[in-house]
Amino acid sequence: INLSTFDKPLRKLTFADLLEATNNFHHDSLIGSGGFGDVYKAQLKDGSVVAIKKLIHVSGQGDREFTAEMETIGKIKHRNLVPLLGYCKVGEERLLVYEYMKYGSLDDVLHDQKKGGVNLDWPARRKIAVGAARGLAFLHHSCIPHIIHRDMKSSNVLLDENLEARVSDFGMARLMSAMDTHLSVSTLAGTPGYVPPEYYQSFRCSTKGDVYSFGVVLLELLTGRQPTDSSDFGDNNLVGWVKQHAKLKISDVFDPALKTKDQPGLEMELLQHLRIACQCLDDRPWRRPTMLQVMAMFKELHVGGGNGGRGSTELDGSFCSVDTSIKEAPENK
Protein backbone atom coordinates (compact mmCIF):
# COMPACT_ATOMS: atom_id res chain seq x y z
CA ILE A 1 0.00 0.00 0.00
CA ASN A 2 1.64 3.17 -1.15
CA LEU A 3 1.87 6.39 0.76
CA SER A 4 0.35 9.51 -0.79
CA THR A 5 3.04 12.16 -0.63
CA PHE A 6 3.63 15.80 -1.45
CA ASP A 7 7.40 15.64 -1.90
CA LYS A 8 9.14 13.39 -4.41
CA PRO A 9 11.74 11.85 -2.05
CA LEU A 10 9.00 10.06 -0.11
CA ARG A 11 6.98 8.88 -3.08
CA LYS A 12 8.12 5.26 -2.92
CA LEU A 13 7.29 4.75 0.76
CA THR A 14 4.78 2.06 1.66
CA PHE A 15 2.89 1.13 4.81
CA ALA A 16 5.35 -1.75 5.23
CA ASP A 17 8.22 0.77 5.24
CA LEU A 18 6.55 2.73 8.03
CA LEU A 19 5.96 -0.45 10.04
CA GLU A 20 9.62 -1.41 9.67
CA ALA A 21 10.87 2.09 10.50
CA THR A 22 8.90 2.13 13.77
CA ASN A 23 9.47 -1.55 14.62
CA ASN A 24 5.74 -2.20 14.28
CA PHE A 25 4.96 1.01 16.16
CA HIS A 26 6.92 -0.20 19.16
CA HIS A 27 6.70 1.76 22.40
CA ASP A 28 10.43 2.58 22.16
CA SER A 29 9.71 4.64 19.03
CA LEU A 30 6.92 6.61 20.73
CA ILE A 31 7.83 10.28 21.18
CA GLY A 32 4.45 11.83 21.97
CA SER A 33 0.76 11.28 22.58
CA GLY A 34 -2.19 13.62 22.21
CA GLY A 35 -5.91 13.84 21.72
CA PHE A 36 -5.62 12.87 18.06
CA GLY A 37 -3.20 9.95 18.34
CA ASP A 38 0.35 8.82 19.03
CA VAL A 39 3.53 10.10 17.37
CA TYR A 40 6.49 7.86 16.55
CA LYS A 41 10.03 8.69 15.49
CA ALA A 42 11.07 6.71 12.43
CA GLN A 43 14.33 6.40 10.53
CA LEU A 44 13.77 5.51 6.90
CA LYS A 45 16.02 3.34 4.76
CA ASP A 46 17.63 6.39 3.17
CA GLY A 47 18.66 7.59 6.64
CA SER A 48 16.16 10.43 6.87
CA VAL A 49 14.17 10.81 10.06
CA VAL A 50 10.44 11.54 10.11
CA ALA A 51 7.65 11.72 12.69
CA ILE A 52 4.67 9.45 12.08
CA LYS A 53 1.34 10.33 13.67
CA LYS A 54 -0.91 7.29 14.07
CA LEU A 55 -4.42 8.67 14.45
CA ILE A 56 -6.78 7.27 17.04
CA HIS A 57 -9.07 4.67 15.50
CA VAL A 58 -11.47 6.33 13.13
CA SER A 59 -14.44 4.94 11.26
CA GLY A 60 -13.98 4.27 7.56
CA GLN A 61 -16.92 6.48 6.67
CA GLY A 62 -14.68 9.57 6.62
CA ASP A 63 -12.43 8.37 3.79
CA ARG A 64 -13.30 11.08 1.32
CA GLU A 65 -13.12 13.80 3.96
CA PHE A 66 -9.77 12.48 5.19
CA THR A 67 -8.24 12.53 1.71
CA ALA A 68 -9.60 16.00 0.97
CA GLU A 69 -8.26 17.44 4.23
CA MET A 70 -4.87 15.79 3.76
CA GLU A 71 -4.55 17.19 0.25
CA THR A 72 -5.35 20.64 1.62
CA ILE A 73 -2.98 20.45 4.59
CA GLY A 74 -0.18 18.93 2.50
CA LYS A 75 -0.03 22.00 0.28
CA ILE A 76 0.48 24.40 3.18
CA LYS A 77 4.16 25.27 3.47
CA HIS A 78 5.69 27.92 5.71
CA ARG A 79 8.95 28.20 7.66
CA ASN A 80 7.03 28.28 10.96
CA LEU A 81 4.72 25.34 10.29
CA VAL A 82 5.55 21.63 10.59
CA PRO A 83 5.18 20.30 7.04
CA LEU A 84 3.03 17.26 6.34
CA LEU A 85 5.10 15.07 4.01
CA GLY A 86 2.54 12.37 3.31
CA TYR A 87 -0.31 10.22 4.56
CA CYS A 88 -1.48 6.64 4.40
CA LYS A 89 -4.81 4.80 4.75
CA VAL A 90 -4.78 1.10 5.57
CA GLY A 91 -8.05 -0.41 6.70
CA GLU A 92 -8.96 1.49 9.84
CA GLU A 93 -5.47 2.97 10.22
CA ARG A 94 -4.69 6.58 9.29
CA LEU A 95 -1.03 7.60 9.30
CA LEU A 96 0.41 11.06 8.77
CA VAL A 97 4.11 11.57 8.03
CA TYR A 98 5.71 14.83 9.17
CA GLU A 99 9.15 16.33 9.08
CA TYR A 100 10.92 15.43 12.34
CA MET A 101 11.71 18.29 14.71
CA LYS A 102 14.94 17.77 16.63
CA TYR A 103 14.06 19.44 19.94
CA GLY A 104 10.48 18.24 20.22
CA SER A 105 7.82 20.47 21.71
CA LEU A 106 8.15 23.78 23.51
CA ASP A 107 6.14 22.18 26.32
CA ASP A 108 8.87 19.57 26.85
CA VAL A 109 11.79 21.99 26.51
CA LEU A 110 10.23 24.57 28.83
CA HIS A 111 8.64 22.33 31.46
CA ASP A 112 10.45 18.97 31.34
CA GLN A 113 14.22 19.34 31.57
CA LYS A 114 14.74 15.57 31.28
CA LYS A 115 13.08 15.52 27.88
CA GLY A 116 14.11 18.94 26.65
CA GLY A 117 17.71 19.25 27.79
CA VAL A 118 17.89 22.82 26.48
CA ASN A 119 17.98 26.00 28.53
CA LEU A 120 16.01 28.75 26.83
CA ASP A 121 17.27 32.27 27.58
CA TRP A 122 15.09 35.27 26.79
CA PRO A 123 16.37 35.86 23.21
CA ALA A 124 15.59 32.19 22.42
CA ARG A 125 12.11 32.47 23.96
CA ARG A 126 11.43 35.72 22.13
CA LYS A 127 12.43 34.09 18.84
CA ILE A 128 10.06 31.18 19.57
CA ALA A 129 7.20 33.57 20.38
CA VAL A 130 7.71 35.48 17.14
CA GLY A 131 8.00 32.28 15.09
CA ALA A 132 4.83 30.78 16.55
CA ALA A 133 3.00 34.07 15.94
CA ARG A 134 4.23 34.15 12.36
CA GLY A 135 3.02 30.59 11.75
CA LEU A 136 -0.43 31.34 13.19
CA ALA A 137 -0.66 34.60 11.23
CA PHE A 138 0.04 32.65 8.04
CA LEU A 139 -2.79 30.20 8.80
CA HIS A 140 -5.21 33.01 9.65
CA HIS A 141 -4.39 35.51 6.94
CA SER A 142 -2.52 33.86 4.06
CA CYS A 143 -4.34 30.54 3.63
CA ILE A 144 -7.51 30.39 1.54
CA PRO A 145 -9.78 29.36 3.12
CA HIS A 146 -8.37 30.67 6.39
CA ILE A 147 -7.38 27.98 8.88
CA ILE A 148 -8.32 28.16 12.56
CA HIS A 149 -5.93 26.02 14.58
CA ARG A 150 -8.41 25.30 17.43
CA ASP A 151 -5.77 23.76 19.71
CA MET A 152 -2.85 26.18 19.94
CA LYS A 153 -0.66 25.23 22.93
CA SER A 154 3.00 24.80 23.82
CA SER A 155 2.94 21.07 22.99
CA ASN A 156 1.85 22.04 19.45
CA VAL A 157 4.81 24.39 19.04
CA LEU A 158 7.73 22.23 17.91
CA LEU A 159 11.37 23.33 17.75
CA ASP A 160 13.68 22.47 14.86
CA GLU A 161 17.47 22.16 14.98
CA ASN A 162 17.80 25.97 15.03
CA LEU A 163 15.24 26.32 17.84
CA GLU A 164 12.92 27.91 15.29
CA ALA A 165 9.26 27.53 16.25
CA ARG A 166 7.08 25.34 14.02
CA VAL A 167 3.35 25.20 14.70
CA SER A 168 2.01 21.64 14.39
CA ASP A 169 -1.40 19.94 14.29
CA PHE A 170 -3.05 22.75 12.34
CA GLY A 171 -6.08 21.34 10.56
CA MET A 172 -6.29 18.31 12.85
CA ALA A 173 -9.40 19.43 14.74
CA ARG A 174 -11.18 20.24 11.50
CA LEU A 175 -10.10 16.88 10.06
CA MET A 176 -11.48 14.96 13.02
CA SER A 177 -14.68 16.96 12.94
CA ALA A 178 -15.10 16.25 9.21
CA MET A 179 -14.54 12.54 9.77
CA ASP A 180 -17.36 12.43 12.31
CA THR A 181 -15.48 10.62 15.05
CA HIS A 182 -16.72 10.45 18.62
CA LEU A 183 -14.28 12.93 20.04
CA SER A 184 -15.36 14.99 23.00
CA VAL A 185 -16.08 18.65 22.48
CA SER A 186 -13.12 19.48 24.71
CA THR A 187 -10.77 17.74 22.28
CA LEU A 188 -12.21 19.63 19.35
CA ALA A 189 -12.31 23.00 21.07
CA GLY A 190 -8.93 23.09 22.78
CA THR A 191 -6.98 22.09 25.87
CA PRO A 192 -7.71 23.18 29.48
CA GLY A 193 -5.76 26.30 30.35
CA TYR A 194 -5.70 27.48 26.72
CA VAL A 195 -9.43 27.64 25.98
CA PRO A 196 -10.83 31.18 25.59
CA PRO A 197 -13.80 32.03 27.83
CA GLU A 198 -16.24 32.43 24.93
CA TYR A 199 -15.78 28.77 23.92
CA TYR A 200 -17.64 27.78 27.07
CA GLN A 201 -20.71 29.68 25.90
CA SER A 202 -20.51 28.71 22.25
CA PHE A 203 -18.65 25.89 20.53
CA ARG A 204 -17.88 28.09 17.53
CA CYS A 205 -14.14 28.38 17.05
CA SER A 206 -12.57 31.57 15.72
CA THR A 207 -9.21 33.11 14.87
CA LYS A 208 -9.61 35.26 18.00
CA GLY A 209 -9.83 32.03 20.01
CA ASP A 210 -6.43 31.07 18.59
CA VAL A 211 -5.13 34.52 19.58
CA TYR A 212 -6.19 33.88 23.18
CA SER A 213 -4.43 30.49 23.19
CA PHE A 214 -1.30 32.13 21.76
CA GLY A 215 -1.44 34.61 24.65
CA VAL A 216 -1.28 31.67 27.06
CA VAL A 217 1.78 30.27 25.22
CA LEU A 218 3.42 33.70 25.49
CA LEU A 219 2.68 33.70 29.24
CA GLU A 220 4.37 30.29 29.48
CA LEU A 221 7.49 31.70 27.82
CA LEU A 222 7.51 34.69 30.18
CA THR A 223 6.73 32.85 33.43
CA GLY A 224 8.19 29.39 32.79
CA ARG A 225 4.98 27.95 34.23
CA GLN A 226 2.42 25.55 32.80
CA PRO A 227 -1.14 26.82 32.25
CA THR A 228 -2.76 24.58 34.88
CA ASP A 229 -2.07 22.48 37.95
CA SER A 230 0.47 24.63 39.76
CA SER A 231 0.15 24.63 43.55
CA ASP A 232 0.67 28.41 43.41
CA PHE A 233 -2.47 28.96 41.36
CA GLY A 234 -5.01 27.74 43.95
CA ASP A 235 -8.35 27.51 42.15
CA ASN A 236 -6.93 29.57 39.31
CA ASN A 237 -5.01 28.77 36.16
CA LEU A 238 -1.93 30.62 34.83
CA VAL A 239 -4.00 33.44 33.31
CA GLY A 240 -5.89 34.02 36.57
CA TRP A 241 -2.66 33.86 38.57
CA VAL A 242 -1.03 36.54 36.41
CA LYS A 243 -4.18 38.68 36.72
CA GLN A 244 -3.88 38.48 40.51
CA HIS A 245 -0.23 39.52 40.39
CA ALA A 246 -1.06 42.45 38.11
CA LYS A 247 -2.69 44.03 41.17
CA LEU A 248 0.41 43.39 43.31
CA LYS A 249 3.97 43.20 41.98
CA ILE A 250 3.74 42.14 38.37
CA SER A 251 7.48 41.50 37.93
CA ASP A 252 7.13 38.54 40.32
CA VAL A 253 5.43 36.54 37.56
CA PHE A 254 8.54 36.34 35.37
CA ASP A 255 10.59 33.15 35.23
CA PRO A 256 13.46 33.51 37.76
CA ALA A 257 15.68 31.72 35.24
CA LEU A 258 15.41 34.79 32.98
CA LYS A 259 16.51 37.33 35.57
CA THR A 260 20.19 38.14 35.27
CA LYS A 261 21.98 41.17 36.67
CA ASP A 262 23.94 41.93 33.51
CA GLN A 263 20.80 42.74 31.48
CA PRO A 264 19.48 46.03 32.85
CA GLY A 265 16.82 46.49 30.15
CA LEU A 266 15.47 42.95 30.40
CA GLU A 267 12.61 43.56 32.84
CA MET A 268 11.31 46.41 30.69
CA GLU A 269 11.35 44.12 27.65
CA LEU A 270 9.57 41.35 29.55
CA LEU A 271 6.90 43.83 30.65
CA GLN A 272 6.37 44.95 27.07
CA HIS A 273 5.91 41.35 25.93
CA LEU A 274 3.60 40.71 28.88
CA ARG A 275 1.48 43.62 27.70
CA ILE A 276 1.10 41.92 24.30
CA ALA A 277 0.09 38.68 26.05
CA CYS A 278 -2.48 40.63 28.07
CA GLN A 279 -4.08 42.05 24.94
CA CYS A 280 -4.31 38.55 23.47
CA LEU A 281 -5.96 37.36 26.70
CA ASP A 282 -8.73 39.96 26.80
CA ASP A 283 -12.00 38.26 27.81
CA ARG A 284 -13.73 40.06 24.93
CA PRO A 285 -12.72 38.47 21.61
CA TRP A 286 -13.31 41.65 19.60
CA ARG A 287 -10.78 43.51 21.77
CA ARG A 288 -8.01 41.02 21.04
CA PRO A 289 -5.55 41.89 18.27
CA THR A 290 -5.30 39.78 15.14
CA MET A 291 -2.14 37.71 14.72
CA LEU A 292 -0.94 40.21 12.09
CA GLN A 293 -1.31 42.96 14.70
CA VAL A 294 0.59 40.81 17.20
CA MET A 295 3.39 40.49 14.64
CA ALA A 296 3.39 44.27 14.18
CA MET A 297 3.68 44.76 17.96
CA PHE A 298 6.62 42.36 18.15
CA LYS A 299 8.29 44.19 15.28
CA GLU A 300 7.76 47.55 16.97
CA LEU A 301 9.36 46.27 20.17
CA HIS A 302 12.36 44.80 18.40
CA VAL A 303 12.93 47.81 16.17
CA GLY A 304 12.63 50.04 19.22
CA GLY A 305 15.18 47.98 21.13
CA GLY A 306 12.55 46.73 23.56
CA ASN A 307 11.25 50.17 24.53
CA GLY A 308 8.01 49.57 22.66
CA GLY A 309 6.97 53.18 22.30
CA ARG A 310 5.76 55.68 24.87
CA GLY A 311 3.63 53.44 27.10
CA SER A 312 3.95 53.06 30.83
CA THR A 313 5.80 50.04 32.16
CA GLU A 314 3.23 49.58 34.90
CA LEU A 315 0.31 47.20 34.60
CA ASP A 316 -2.86 48.33 36.30
CA GLY A 317 -5.62 46.49 38.16
CA SER A 318 -7.70 45.93 35.03
CA PHE A 319 -5.17 43.16 34.28
CA CYS A 320 -2.86 45.04 31.93
CA SER A 321 -2.81 48.64 30.85
CA VAL A 322 -2.62 48.89 27.09
CA ASP A 323 0.36 50.68 25.62
CA THR A 324 -1.07 53.79 23.97
CA SER A 325 1.44 53.53 21.16
CA ILE A 326 -0.08 50.22 20.04
CA LYS A 327 -3.30 50.50 18.06
CA GLU A 328 -6.21 48.47 19.33
CA ALA A 329 -7.79 45.81 17.19
CA PRO A 330 -10.90 47.02 15.36
CA GLU A 331 -14.13 45.58 16.67
CA ASN A 332 -15.39 42.63 14.66
CA LYS A 333 -19.14 42.41 14.55
Binding residues for ATP: 54
Active-site residue identified among 108, 151, 169, 323? 151
CA dist 253 and 267 (Å) reads: 11
CA dist 102 and 51 (Å) reads: 10
Amino acid at 237: N
Annotated active-site residue 151? The verdict is yes
CA dist 39 and 37 (Å) reads: 7
Catalytic residue numbers read 151
